Structure 1
Amino acid sequence: MSRVLVTGAASGLGAALATAFEARGDEVLRTDVVEGADLRLDITSDDDWAAALAHVEAAWGGLDVLVNNAGVAGGGRLDVATMDEWQWIMEINLLGAVRGTRTFVPMLKRQRSGRIVNTSSLAGLVHPAGMASYNASKAAVVALTETTGHELAAYGVSAHVVCPSYFRTNLMSSLRGADTALAGVVSRLVETSPISADDIAAAVLEGLDRGDEVILPDQPARDAYGLKWSDRATYDAVMRAQAAKLDEVGA
């Protein structure tokens, strides 16, 4: 039985991950900023992270799995997205995971065990047009995770990053940005995806059981990332064609 803390666990992928861990018999602390969580945790607040650490120490005396899952959707073409949008998405998607990692690393080092699981996105590996801020925030989460794994390996702590493609979730409810053309395109991709949050959560646990450091939990994600590595010219052509379509929609 593992002791698991999941951020953004009141809904969407966070809720699905929490339920999947619980189904295996794990103890799960669901945290979020909205009702439905066991503990309120604003991942941009150092005070909230300190309170989460104190709660874990008092209740469990340690932690086996930290899941930095909470995040927001955003993006926009380079000349449309504002600097406020960039700062907002980086504060949550990147620095939220940084704060969580920094909070619990001393505990994990002391106990010389544990896993850190960061939810990124296929956008952290494959970078479509119109989504520079989101892509950059999620690519940074990939880099953070790899670095964490290198630093903590000697302490018996592993790091894993989850990079799903579009799946049905309520993430779009957090979408912000001046680029309404992008919002419409992305929302349609999410709403029409045949993949559910439960599907992604099940694949994530399978990846953790295998010890995968980069978890691509769905076939579209694996196909897109595979194309980037196997045929860069075709990948670039696909991405640039999508960029042209976005410009047509947003003109």
Structure 2
Amino acid sequence: MSDRLVVVTGAASGIGQATARAFAARGARVIGVDLADVDGYRADVSDAAQMEELAAAVLRDHGVPDVLVSNAGIGITGPFLATTAADWDRIVGVNLLGVVHGARVFAPAMAERGSGHIVNVASAAAFAPSRSLSAYGATKAAVVMFSESLRGELAAHGVGVTVICPGQVKTPITTSTRFVDLSTEDEAAARIRMGEQYRRALPPEKVAAAILRAVDKNPPMRSVGIDAKLAHGLWRTAPWLMRRVARNGPADRVGR
């Protein structure tokens, strides 16, 4: 990775921060992007205009990225019947359109140069239906199919595309996830339960390592974590079982 230019969204914490550090440790020049304080650029990935301004600045000041890691994401959990239009707008804007905008503003330059790699971070929730994750799971499933389609298009231009689907990972998403249809008191209790669930979850460095391997090997998809691998395998071989879990499983879990 010596001197290769890497752009990472959602770089201020969690998987994004671990990924930025992992690339930097391999000698890459890393540009972090986040809404929070980050050594790089501040931008809302859901805002098309901000992403265009970001790309213009990166291309002007640093050149064409060798790697783009679209990692920024948010969580929403709760029943679909209580999820508002505003909730949908926000999660689709960040989790799906944020990935689309990243590819839209950087992929043309990569394609013109004839090299590069795009890594989109989705979630095991893309293939593990849950009664409480209709919005979150839908955005992550969309990222998977977008990535597969983008891979097919960009292959002819020498640009690889990989989608990463982690299971449960110890990240700040457990403290920032929005719980719909809960009182303040019940939301606090749900947050505590989620924190307990994630106490032994995968460290973000494991996902970062998988992202680096993906750039080296260019696989179409990688599930990260035993829970993610199991969910993916069951969705392919026993979807009826996954549908039963979706009806009867926990109501306040989130994918990553």
Do they fold alike, i.e. is TM over 0.5? yes
Give, as a single letter, the amino acid of the residue that structure 2 aligns with 1:112.
G
| CA distance in structure 2 between the aligned counterparts of 1:189 and 1:148, rounded to whole angstroms | 37
| Partner in structure 2 of residue 239 of structure 1 | 246
| CA distance in structure 2 between the aligned counterparts of 1:112 and 1:68, rounded to whole angstroms | 20
| Partner in structure 2 of residue 138 of structure 1 | 140
Q: What does residue range 110-189 of structure 1 map to in structure 2 within 5 Å? A: 110-180=112-182, 184=190, 187-188=194-195
The 8 Å contact of residues 119 and 211 in structure 2, kept in 1 or not, is answered as no
Structure 2: runs of 5+ lacking an equivalent: none
1:22 to 21, 24, 27: 24
Q: Which moved more, 1:205-214 or 1:131-140?
A: 205-214
| CA distance in structure 2 between the aligned counterparts of 1:80 and 1:67, rounded to whole angstroms | 32
Give deviations 1:55-110, integer Å, cap 9, x for gaps: 22223321111111111011321212222111111011111111111111210111
CA RMSD of aligned residues (A): 2.0
Deviation at 1:246, TM superposition (A): 3.5
2:203 to 196, 214, 217: 196
Structure 1: runs of 5+ lacking an equivalent: none
Structure 2 residue matching 1:216: 3-state secondary structure: strand
| CA distance in structure 2 between the aligned counterparts of 1:235 and 1:171, rounded to whole angstroms | 24
Task: Please state if 1:67 is matched with 2:74.
Answer: no
Structure 2 residue matching 1:79: 3-state secondary structure: helix
| CA distance in structure 2 between the aligned counterparts of 1:162 and 1:24, rounded to whole angstroms | 20
The 8 Å contact of residues 127 and 235 in structure 2, kept in 1 or not, is answered as no
Instruction: Mark the CA change 1:189 to 1:74 in structure 2 (over 3 Å): closer, same or farther.
Output: farther
TM value normalised by structure 1: 0.90
The 8 Å contact of residues 129 and 242 in structure 2, kept in 1 or not, is answered as no
> Percent of counterpart pairs with the same letter?
34
| Partner in structure 2 of residue 89 of structure 1 | 91
| CA distance in structure 1 between the aligned counterparts of 2:24 and 2:64, rounded to whole angstroms | 17
Higher relative contact order (CA 8 A, sep 6+): 2
Q: What does residue range 199-214 of structure 1 map to in structure 2 within 5 Å? A: 199-214=206-221
| CA distance in structure 2 between the aligned counterparts of 1:177 and 1:144, rounded to whole angstroms | 27
